[in-house]
Structure formats: C-alpha cells, structure tokens
Amino acid sequence: EAGVAQSPRYKIIEKRQSVAFWCNPISGHATLYWYQQILGQGPKLLIQFQNNGVVDDSQLPKDRFSAERLKGVDSTLKIQPAKLEDSAVYLCASSSGGTGLQGYTFGSGTRLTVV
Amino acid sequence: AQSVTQLDSQVPVFEEAPVELRCNYSSSVSVYLFWYVQYPNQGLQLLLKYLSGSTLVKGINGFEAEFNKSQTSFHLRKPSVHISDTAEYFCAVSDPQGAQKLVFGQGTRLTINP
C-alpha cells in the first residue's frame, strides 16, 4: 500500500511570511496527526483529526497555526505569520484507529527553515 | 499526563557490540509503548510495540525491548549492532483509553563506529 505522502519536502521562507504543508494519508485511515519536530527533540503533537473533526488541538498555537481536513482525507497545515522558532520538521501520520493494534504510519516530513 | 524520558541523548558503540537504549515513562494509567527509528532525512519507522501480554517484545532488524511495569521502563536492546543501525531512536507512550496520541521522548542518537 502507498505510504503517507507529504509535500513539499523542503521549504525556506522569511519570518512573517506564510506557508502551507499538505498531507495525503493512507487510504481508509480515519485518524490523521500533525507533529512538529524541532531539531534535537522528539516529535510533538500539534493536532489530531478523526475523519474531518478535530480530536485534540491543545498544543496548536492557534494565533498563527491552522489546519483543516476536508472530506476526511487530505489535510493542510498553515502557518501565518511564521516565526524563527517555527523552523522544524513537520510530520504527518495516519492510522486506521487504535494505536495499539494498527499503529501509526508516518510520512517523510516537510523541513521548514524560517530565516 | 504522560511523559517519556530517554536517559541518554547519545550512545556511541562499536560495530558488533551489544547496545541498550534506555526509556522510562510516567503515566497514571495503563499504557501502550513504542520504539521508533528515524534515519537521516526520513520519517519515523516503527521498530516494535508493547500492547499487553509477554513483557519481552521482538521487533524488526534484530531489536527487542522489555516492559518493566515496576520500574516503568521499556529499554531497547540489540545483541550485535551494524553500521546501518546508526540513526535516532525514539521511545513513545500512548494511552489505550484516551485519544491515542503518541507522546515521544527526546530521542537517543545511536552512532556505530567501525
């Protein structure tokens, strides 16, 4: 089966600009996650979707970050305006439900550099 | 709230030597436990997971981990490492009854020297 697709792979922007990332999960996976991985740290959950509804966005900086999952399939994560501290790898993951049984599948990530 | 502590940020070992990467977790409820590996410029790949049952879990690439509830640990081991095992390793915990998000540790960078 195809994996989790993310684009772009790399992005360099200036601070205060906006940027968007795209994720296409594995077909049929109801749950989609966005994680932020800052260099030297473990991934941190930003937002979790179940179909097209938000389950957990408690760690999403809502003044600048937004995410949507239209029709319960693809998802986009947007940052506007970007800050230097947003430089990180943004990982998308999907699961068919139940981390224990099915586990997660991660995409290769988008590496964002804010200058 | 759940948390994970990986006790070593870097572990250098020689090729064909054994290795142990340490992970401790904190949780007030039962947990699922995971180890992921991340090769340079790639996403996270599942090595193994503990859900229930036998406390010794075997994974891919010759890795295994042992769940110790009394010590709240889930250490990763491999009896003989290869150069190709050079990567970042992440321990993670999930609450089976909750939203089932993964909470990750800070990671351990495993470097294999020839």
pLDDT of residue B41: 79
Contacts of A53 (CB under 8 A, 6+ apart): none
pLDDT of residue A106: 92
Six-digit token pair at B6?
């990986």
Segment among A94-108, B9-23, B34-48, B50-64 with least mean pLDDT: A94-108
State mean pLDDT over A67-96. 94
What's the distance, Cα to Cα, between the start and end of chain A in Å? 37
CA distance B83 to B86: 6
With an 8 Å Cβ cutoff, are B100 and A98 in contact? Answer: yes
With an 8 Å Cβ cutoff, are A108 and B42 in contact? Answer: yes
Closest of A35, A23, A47, A21 to residue B104, by C-alpha: A35
Six-digit token pair at A65?
């970050």
State mean pLDDT over A3-11. 96
Contact residues on chain A for B109, CB-CB shorter than 8 A: none
| Chain segment B22-46, per-residue pLDDT in tens | 999 998 788 899 999 999 878 899 9
pLDDT of residue B99: 65
What does the mean pLDDT of chain A come to?
Answer: 92
Handedness of CA A57, A61, A62, A68 (dihedral sign): negative
Contact residues on chain B for A98, CB-CB shorter than 8 A: 100
The DSSP symbol for A85 reads: G
Find, in chain B, the residue whose alpha carbon is nearest to that of A104: B46
Distance of residue A4 Cα from the nearest chain B Cα, in angstroms: 10
Residues in chain B: 114
User: What are the phi and psi torsion angles at B87 (to 5°)?
Assistant: -175, 180
Find, in chain B, the residue whose alpha carbon is nearest to that of A6: B43
* 3-state SS assignment for residue A63: coil
pLDDT for residue A100 is more than 60: no
**Cis geometry, peptide bond prior to residue A81 (ω within 30 degrees of 0):** yes
